[in-house]
Amino acid sequence: MVSSVQWFRMGASLVAQLGLVAILAIGIWAGAAQADQTTGPTLGPETNLPLPRFVSLKAAEANVRRGPSLTHRIDWVFQRRNMPLQVIAEYGHWRRVIDKEGQGGWVHYTMLSGSRTVLIDGDTTALRSRPEPDALENALLEPGVIARLGKCEAEWCRLTAGGYRGWAPKSTLWGVAAGEIRD
């Protein structure tokens, strides 16, 4: 039989152990939070690629679902091949994507491509021969035009669209991050 003194000692020991577990858990949580601040972008659990990231639509049509499975309802259909999209989450073979307007849902990964494209955003954009504001204009790109993304410097990106090549200011494009540099 256990005496009341023994119950007290066992209870005090249990409280001390729980306190130690709580302190360790807080320390681990704080260390993980500090590691997240120093390690950079979040990586997707399925691909180990950065989140968010830009991709393009591989297919001419892709169902956009409310959840990450075939049993979830189709909310709408993306109908523009090469349209740039931003992957914001991953689950199994599914990627949660958004378009320029922030609309999106879950798309099967086979509908997406790692080939990068951008959307001309805002006004008509000059495609220039060099990454300089006064360089010769090769073409004018209308808002909504999709262009293949090439090299990007701090403020300019090299694009290919409609058989034309040249440089456009990064600020006029959707589908490339402001600080992104590409070789």
Q: Look at 12 and 153; give whichever has higher pLDDT.
A: 153
3-class secondary structure, 22: helix
Measure the CA–CA gap between 170 and 153, rounded to whole angstroms. Answer: 9
Predicted TM-score (pTM) of the model is 0.76
User: pLDDT at residue 34 above 50?
Assistant: no
Q: Are 170 and 176 in contact (CB under 8 A)?
A: yes
Q: Are 146 and 175 in contact (CB under 8 A)?
A: no
What are the Cα distances from residue 4, in Å, to 11, 17, 48?
A: 10, 20, 55
Residue 5's pLDDT band (boundaries 50, 70, 90)?
very low
pLDDT digits (tens, 9 = 90+) for 49-101: 999 999 999 999 999 999 999 999 999 999 999 999 999 999 999 999 999 99
